[in-house]
Copies of this chain bind each other. A is one copy, B any other.
Amino acid sequence: MPNALQALELENFLPYRLSVLAQLVSESLHDLYTQPFGLSVTQWRVMAALGRFAPLTASEVGQRIVMDKVAVSRAVAGLLERGLVERATDRSDRRRVPLRLSARGRTMHARIVPLALAYQEKLYETLSPVERLSFDALSDRLFARAQTLRNAD
């Protein structure tokens, strides 16, 4: 018996499902800080990285938030203009530019974090604590698997 021709059921196709879910969540979260604080998604992510991991260079920020250095550079330019981020100088290597939140940046960061965490909580409410852990673990494994496949090619 020959295999039936496989059909691509878009609504059950994992990459498609992940994409749609991530986009919906990202847009919802974006609504929380775009209008009141005037931040783009990348700007907010840079601030989140700097808020959590003290001084970071642009490249290090990029590694943390999985974003290429060009995108980081542009986001940082905007944040510098608005005085939300400060540059330092690295005496031992003047190519590197350590970045950190300014006082204003820290204030804004401190106001956004609770909103972001509250949104996450509301999302997670639909899952029990066990299910939540399960989802996190499974998505971790899918991520690791995707990385392996990508490198193996």
Name A residues whose Cβ lies closer than 8 Å to a Cβ of B: 5-10, 12-29, 45, 48-49, 51-52, 64-66, 110, 113-114, 116-117, 119-120, 122-127, 131, 134-136, 138-139, 141-147, 149-150
Contacts and interface: CB of A to CB of B under 8 A. Distances in A.
Contact of A20 (B24, B66, B127): B66
B126 A48 contact: no
A70 B141 CA distance: 36
Nearest to A53: B10
Given A52-B9, A145-B123, A22 B19 contact: yes
B124 A28 contact: no
Nearest to A17: B139
